[in-house]
Structure formats: structure tokens, C-alpha cells
Amino acid sequence: MHELSIAMAVIDQVRDAVPDDRVESLTLRIGELVAVVPEALDFSFGLAADGTLLAGARLVIETVDGEAHCDGCGRDTPTGMPPVLWCGDCERPLTLLAGRELEIVRVVVADEGPDGTAVGDTARDTTRDEETSHVPHR
């Protein structure tokens, strides 16, 4: 399951961007066609964030539908999943417009209080046992 690697890549990049801040939430944009399962990513993120300044952060996933354009008939159509990337009417390949996004959009970080403790508490809900269908390979 590469969702764990992806979660680790996300955490590395967020830590590079905001090295000293506790992260309240982060928003990812994930296209329908990149083969990343949001539930598996959420599960992996919880594991990988443990012990970092992202521990307890809320993961917000915006999904983007696959969409493609046909230069022949000029139509924009949803690709569906598995994607149809061929226009049967015009017998030509489509051009992909959306659906391959895999992006960290933004993070929300907590401003620290004067005594160094974070303002507000966003302890992560840890009821993850039900998601055992996505057990990572490592």
C-alpha cells in the first residue's frame, strides 16, 4: 500500500514548510485517477504523524473527478473510473483535463500561546480500528 509512503511524503513536506508549528489540519487534493484510496491515506497519515508536530492533525481530502476533452466533437466528459480516455464517436484519444491531482493545498497551524502551549486542543480522534481493511504493508 503506497498510501503510507504518500502520507510520509506529505508529512516531510509539511515539516519542511512549517518546521516549528503544530499543525491543526491539512488539506490535500486528490484526483480520482491517481489510485490513492482516501480512507487508506487517512489511516496511514494517523500512523505516520504520530510523534511529529502533525500528530492529531485533521486530514481534509478534496477529491477531483476525472474529466477529459475531445478535440473532435468538442465535448468535455467525466472519465469515470476506470477511465475511458477514447472518444468512440470520433475514434480518437481524449485530452485529460482533471483527475491526476496529488497535491498539498494548505495547512492550518496553531499559533502558540505566551507560555509555549498551543491555543486550543485538537486531539485526533483515534477510533481507527474499524479501518482494518487497509492494513499497510509496512
Partner 1 sequence: MCRTVDLHQAVLAKNDENALALRRFLASRGTVAVNLMSSPGSGKTALLEQLLTRAVAAGTPAAAVTADLATENDATRLARSGAPVQQILTDGLCHLEAGMLQARLEDWLPDGTRLLFVENVGNLVCPASYDLGETLRIALASVTEGEDKPVKYPAAFGLAQLVVVTKTDLADAVGFARETFLGGVQQVNPGVPVLETSARTGEGVDALLAHILRGAEGEETHTPVLARQHEKHLHSHANGTVREPGPVS
Which residues form the interface with Zn ion (CB under 5 A)?
A: 70, 72-73, 87, 89-90
Q: How many CB atoms within 10 Å of residue 35? A: 11
Nearer to partner 1, 127 or 137 (CB): 137
Q: Do strands 67-69 and 58-64 pair parallel, antiparallel, or not at all (unpaired)?
A: unpaired
User: What is the Cα–Cα distance from 35 to 38, expressed in whole angstroms?
Assistant: 9
The CB-of-42 to partner 1 minimum distance in angstroms stands at 14
Least separation in angstroms between CB 70 and Zn ion: 3
- What distance in Å separates the CA atoms of residue 58 and residue 35, rounded to the nearest whole number? 22
Distance in angstroms (rounded) separating the CA atoms of residues 35 and 19: 29
70 binds, among partner 1, Zn ion, none (CB under 5 to 8 A by kind): Zn ion
For residues 19 and 127, which CB has a smaller minimum distance to partner 1 in the complex? 19
Q: What is residue 8's three-state secondary structure?
A: helix
Give me the residues that bind partner 1 (CB under 8 A), please.
Answer: 1-2, 5-6, 9-10, 12-14, 17-18, 21, 24, 28-29, 31, 33-36, 62-65, 67-68, 81-86, 92-111, 119-120, 137-138
